Structure 1
Amino acid sequence: MIAIAELPSIAFEEMNTVHAEEVEQLNHIETLLDTGAQETALSAALEALFFHTREHFANEEQLMREVGFPAYEMHKAEHDRALNEFQLVMMEWRNREDDEIIRNYICVDTPLWLQQHIATMDTVTANFIAMIKAH
């Protein structure tokens, strides 16, 4: 389980809120895995997380374009890479019917990526947005 308080806090509060929502979804999926939930419940939770993440990235990318964030292309490329990886993991899970694939992705890979992404790209982006919006 990821403690929301362990996530880096950044200068743009809307982004912090979205990150907290994603952590809640990740923790929910971990609970489903731990309790041996039906595949349909797990699949629905994964789809909800994917949809939320895609919307999160799209909204963040729109904001970056609005403020003229100089590293937009690099940040967007990382979002695209992360979404593609998520899709590939879900396909592999469905093909192999192995919950450990999802457990590793949701409980290990994604929390590590999220911490790093927030601490680096999102921190720089949020600082830039905060600076632009302050003027």
Structure 2
Amino acid sequence: MIKIQAEHCSEPGVVPITPEELSVKVLKPRSGYVKGLGLRRSFSVRTSSASTDSDYVRRLEMEIQEQKEEIQSQKEEIQSHKEEITAQKHEIQVQKEEIQAQNKEIGKMNGSIDEHFEITSSIMAFLKKQGFKGQFRGGGIP
């Protein structure tokens, strides 16, 4: 291994070989050999790896379940907000209709005031023609 590493590094500007690459060059890849760890029985590697994979999968499944629960909670919250908005829209519609009715009543009152003013003006013009020279007061004609 030292000889191969020395030969490789003898060339200028060359990046040194990693220990894993050196092991593969010297020992040649074969079953039961794990890079960086040397020779091992392959089933023990698979067993520990399977155990680790299983734990990893369990953790991922737990995260997925937590995210599903959070999504469900958010859906319920959104539904609650939708219901509130619908109720507010209905309340706004009722208020809009009440405002329209009040505006209509105000229009009628304004029309009555205009009509009353015209009648009062006509009465005053009539009285002036008849020669009335007194002052008008709020309570009636003296």
State the TM-score, normalized to the length of structure 2.
Answer: 0.24
User: Which is greater in Rg?
Assistant: 2
Q: Name the structure where helix makes up a greater proportion of residues.
A: 1
